[in-house]
């Protein structure tokens, strides 16, 4: 325990992190503790990533935002200011259009930032994805499921040349965006520990598209994509293959990744399989917008 830190209650506990409502040096704070070396390394990146987020949020002409103020980062601990209010995700049922617009503005702000090409994270490299699949795919998959994964990997290899590195994976999603109580018409983006310029362009868009599809909220996936296209004025042809590449990687990874939504362990693989089958048939962006009759 860090000196001066007092835990009030646990907010969330996963296999990687514990998150707390706490007090630090007399102030109410948010505290996060890593449970292993790799998560601790991610927390160590947060102060640097927060500077990037603040820079983008200040200069963006589409949306104003910032990262939470860092109180302390040391070892396995990260302490930030306490954010009052509810995340936008709590209002998703009532404010879909508004939230889709805010998310699209975030995606545009990050997409407009030029980056140096330092290559991709391993999971977006052909051999890297193959290695991950060999190491992590469950042993009890059916012959049909294995076939779908193999075909999806072949398609990823085919379209890999369409991917270009961009500043992505700030984990932008409605549950991580709060209205800033300190500044009108501004937002706070939390949990940007994965942010780097080694993800493919449109990864944050694609990650959200997949998340809501898999959760049975395909209507919001479609709304999010359509809103982004309308606001960014980027053509469907430019977005299609990079989005498809992200969907394939995310769909494959859902076979081994833990999703902390209730019941996710029961639906991740079957829903990811159905999504991947649609990806295999898709020829245009419209093919990805079709609402499936049933996910389960």
Domain assignment of residue 296, yes or no: no
Residues 281 and 169 in one domain: yes
Burial class of 35 by CB neighbour count within 10 A (0 to 12, 13 to 18, 19+): middle
pLDDT for 252: 97
Long-range pairs of 135-144 with CB within 8 A, sequence gap ≥ 24: 136/255, 136/256, 137/255, 137/256, 138/255, 138/256, 138/269, 141/255, 141/269
- 54, 81, 108 — which closes off a domain? 81
pLDDT for 221: 97
Report the C-alpha gap between 291 and 26 in whole angstroms: 51
Cα–Cα distances in angstroms (integers) from residue 207 to residues 70, 103, 106, 173, 254, in the given order: 26, 12, 14, 9, 11
Residues 190 and 249 in one domain: yes
At residue 204, φ and ψ (nearest 5 deg) are -60, -40
- Which DSSP category does 67 fall into? P
Closest CA to 228 of 61, 67, 62, 92: 62
H or E, element range at 74: strand 70-74
The CATH number of the domain holding residue 228 is: 3.90.1200.10
Radius of gyration of the chain (CA): 19
- 28, 58, 81 — which closes off a domain? 81
Residues 203 and 277 in one domain: yes
How many structural domains compose the chain? 2
Domain assignment of residue 260, yes or no: yes
Domain assignment of residue 295, yes or no: no
Domain assignment of residue 294, yes or no: no
Query: Could you give the angle at which helices 126-136 and 236-253 cross, rounded to 10 degrees?
Result: 30
Closest CA to 271 of 259, 285, 287, 283: 259
Report the C-alpha gap between 33 and 40 in whole angstroms: 8
Domain assignment of residue 246, yes or no: yes
pLDDT for 24: 96
Residues 127 and 216 in one domain: yes
pLDDT for 242: 97
Residues 56 and 188 in one domain: no
Report the C-alpha gap between 249 and 258 in whole angstroms: 15
pLDDT for 296: 60
Cα–Cα distances in angstroms (integers) from residue 282 to residues 10, 253, 278, 279, in the given order: 43, 20, 6, 5
pLDDT for 248: 98
Residues 119 and 249 in one domain: yes
Q: Which residues of the chain have pLDDT under 70?
A: 258-263, 293-296
For residue 146, give its domain range. Answer: 88-289
Report the C-alpha gap between 10 and 28 in whole angstroms: 14
Closest CA to 66 of 106, 29, 39, 34: 106
- 81, 104, 134 — which closes off a domain? 81
Closest CA to 283 of 246, 232, 236: 236
Report the C-alpha gap between 97 and 220 in whole angstroms: 9
The CATH number of the domain holding residue 42 is: 3.30.200.20
pLDDT for 271: 93
């Amino acid at each position: 325990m860090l000196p001066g830190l007092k835990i009030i209650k646990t907010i969330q506990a996963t296999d990687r992190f514990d998150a707390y409502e706490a007090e630090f040096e007399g102030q109410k704070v948010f505290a996060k503790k890593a449970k292993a070396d790799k998560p601790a390394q991610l927390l160590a990146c947060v102060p640097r990533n927060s500077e990037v987020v603040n820079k983008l949020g200040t200069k963006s002409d589409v949306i104003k935002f910032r990262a939470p103020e860092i109180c302390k980062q040391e070892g396995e601990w990260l302490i930030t200011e306490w954010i009052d209010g509810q995340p936008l995700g709590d209002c998703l049922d009532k404010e879909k259009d508004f939230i889709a617009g805010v998310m699209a503005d975030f995606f545009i702000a990050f997409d407009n930032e030029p980056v140096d090409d330092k290559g991709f994270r391993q999971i977006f490299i052909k051999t890297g994805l193959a290695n991950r699949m060999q190491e992590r795919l469950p042993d009890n998959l059916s012959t049909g499921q294995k076939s779908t994964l193999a075909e999806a990997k072949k398609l990823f290899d085919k379209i890999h040349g369409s991917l270009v590195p961009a500043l992505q994976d700030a984990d932008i999603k409605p549950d991580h965006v709060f209205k800033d109580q300190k500044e009108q018409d501004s937002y706070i983006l939390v949990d940007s520990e994965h942010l780097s310029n080694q993800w493919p362009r449109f990864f944050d868009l694609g990650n959200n598209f997949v998340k809501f599809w898999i959760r049975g909220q395909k209507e919001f996936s479609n709304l999010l994509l359509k809103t982004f296209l309308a606001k960014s004025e980027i053509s469907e042809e430019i977005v299609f293959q990079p989005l498809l590449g992200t969907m394939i990687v995310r769909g494959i990874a859902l076979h081994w990744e833990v999703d902390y939504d209730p019941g996710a362990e029961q639906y991740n693989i079957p829903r990811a399989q159905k999504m991947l089958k649609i990806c295999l048939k898709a020829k245009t962006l419209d093919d990805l917008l079709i609402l499936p009759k049933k996910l389960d």
